[in-house]
Structures are given as structure tokens and as C-alpha cells.
Amino acid sequence: MSITDLGTTLCPNLESANCDSSTHLKTTGFSATGSIGAMFHPHRNIDIGLNARMPIVLDTSGTVDATSPPAAPIPLNQDVAKFNTRLPPIVRLGVRYKFLGLDNFEHGDIELDGTWEGWNWAEGDGDKIQIDQLGPFSDIHPTLTHHYKDTFSIRLGGAYNIRLPAGVLALRLGGFYDSAATDLKDQRVDFDTAERYGATAGLGYSVRGVSLNIGYAYMYEPDRNVTNGDIQSINGVANGSTQTTNGPTPVINNGMYHAQNMILSFGLQIAWEELLKRQKTHDWQ
């Protein structure tokens, strides 16, 4: 949604719905990135994993459709648009301790992971839109303000394995913390950037290379009461800026934000090599 500033006669109140218009972008693009990882086994019971992914730059192009404000129902035909955004570099580090029996059966494990995501570099001040022409308006180039911060995550979990006459039953528990991607004043409705705490539980059964898993996650986010928001609406007739003939456009992100999430997942995994393995024989000359 954006404001169409048509002057004080048609838009005496900038928050009036009569001067609101909506814009819909449909763009496509191609990008590529790379990652590198390493696994270390300093001890029979310890695994250490490291992975780094390069950032992703998305320069996309396509079409834009818009609806004119009720105060001035001007027909707006579909036109050309560009949308530019970036996804962050990510670094992950994990340490796992395995409880192994004398026969190498893994009775359980505990794992601690950390993740860093460079959102401040990726987003900076926000995503970019470029619309050369849209009806009577031209050179619309708003920035979708985000002001993201770098984020980090800590995850701790473990499993206890029970050997059955046929297969292995696994009991899993875990928890995690994700830091906030924005300060309070930059909280938005379109992206969930608040910090969150999570608790997870799972159950798995494996037999001869076939694994069935069920998992549950509950995520809690502390409420965010935004009173000093700095996300302003866009003025479509002023090149997508945040200024109008009556002064700055209104702030649109003040309010109370509350969110909780619950996820239930099911998984089926097949290790074909283990499922199809047969006794091998060797002939020695």
C-alpha cells in the first residue's frame, strides 16, 4: 500500500483510505552463490562441523500492477518494474558429542550449534524498486525500509536411542534462541524480525535404512510495543519518497506485535545403500 498525494483538496488527511493505492509486483530473476563446509573428528566421540555460505544477490525484473486511489480513479495499465534485494552470508558451527558403546552403537548424543547471518550488509537500508512509468507517474524508485541487523542463533539438542529387537527408537529434545533482526522502531508486519525462543521434541524409528520421524516445535516471541516507529508509507506521486505536500508521510508500524508459532512435521528418510546392501564375497587369487 502507498499514499497517492493528490493535494489538500482531495487528500486533506494523509491517513484517509481515499488516497491509498495498492501496488503488486511480479518479477523473476536468476542468481547463484557458493558455500564451503568441513567436518572434523578430533575424537571418536566428537564431531565438529563448519559451513559458510556466500551472500545471494537478486536483481529481478517483471511487471507491476496498481490500483488508483478512490479519490482519483485513474486507469493504471500494467507496466515494467525491477526489484533488487540480497540474502545474507551465513556461517554455521556445530559440535556434537556421541555416547558410543563398546560395540559402536550410538546410545545418544548432544549437540550445540551456532549460526550468524549478515543481514545488515545484505539489506542495508532496504530493498529497491524501480518503476520507470506507471500511468501518469514516472521514475518511481522507493526503498522498502528495513534497517536489518546481523543476527545470531544458538541451538542445543540431544537424542536418546533405544535398540529394539527390530530397529532403533530415538527420543529427541531441544531448544533454541534467535536474536532480533531489527530494533523496535523498525519492526514491520510483512517480515517477522522479533527475537524468539523455541522448544522442540521428536520421535523417530529406524530399521534397515528406513527412518520415520515426527517432530514438534513451539516458538515464543516476546511482545514488541512500538511507540517510536520510523517506517513511513510511500508517496507514489513523489517518486516513491516519504514526503508529501502536507509534510512527511505518516508512520505505519506503531502498535503492539504478538506472535507464537507451532510446527508439526513428519519425515521419511531412505538410505538406499543400507536398505539394499547384501553380503559381499571376495575371490582372492
Give me the pLDDT at residue 173, please: 98
| Digit-coded pLDDT (tens) for 174-231 | 999 999 999 999 998 888 899 999 999 999 999 988 999 999 999 999 999 999 998 8
Q: Which of 104, 119, 99 is nearest to 159 (CA)?
A: 99
Single out the residue of 69, 84, 79 nearest to residue 132, CA to CA.
79
Q: Is position 281 within any domain? A: no
- What does the mean pLDDT of the chain come to? 88
Does residue 37 carry a pLDDT above 70? Answer: yes
- At 111 the pLDDT is 97
pLDDT of residue 256 exceeding 90, the answer is: yes
Dihedrals φ, ψ of 5, to 5°? -75, 105
- Contacts of residue 9, Cβ cutoff 8 Å, sequence gap at least 6: none
Q: How many whole angstroms separate alpha carbon 243 and alpha carbon 43?
A: 62
The answer to the question of residue 284 being in a domain is no
For residue 273, the model assigns a pLDDT of 82
Domain around 127: 2-275
Domain annotation covers residue 18: yes
44 falls within a domain: yes
Look up the CATH number of the domain holding residue 260: 2.40.160.60
Q: What pLDDT does residue 283 have?
A: 44
Q: Are 11 and 20 in contact (CB under 8 A)?
A: no
> What is the spatial distance between Cα 259 and Cα 265, in angstroms, rounded to a whole number?
20
Q: What is the domain count for the chain?
A: 1
Residue 177 lies in a domain: yes
**282 occurs within a structural domain:** no
The pLDDT value recorded for residue 126 is: 86
Does residue 158 fall inside a structural domain? yes
- Residue 129 near residue 164 (C-beta atoms within 8 A): no
Domain-embedded: residue 26: yes
Q: What is the distance in angstroms between the CA of the first residue and the CA of the last residue of the chain?
A: 79
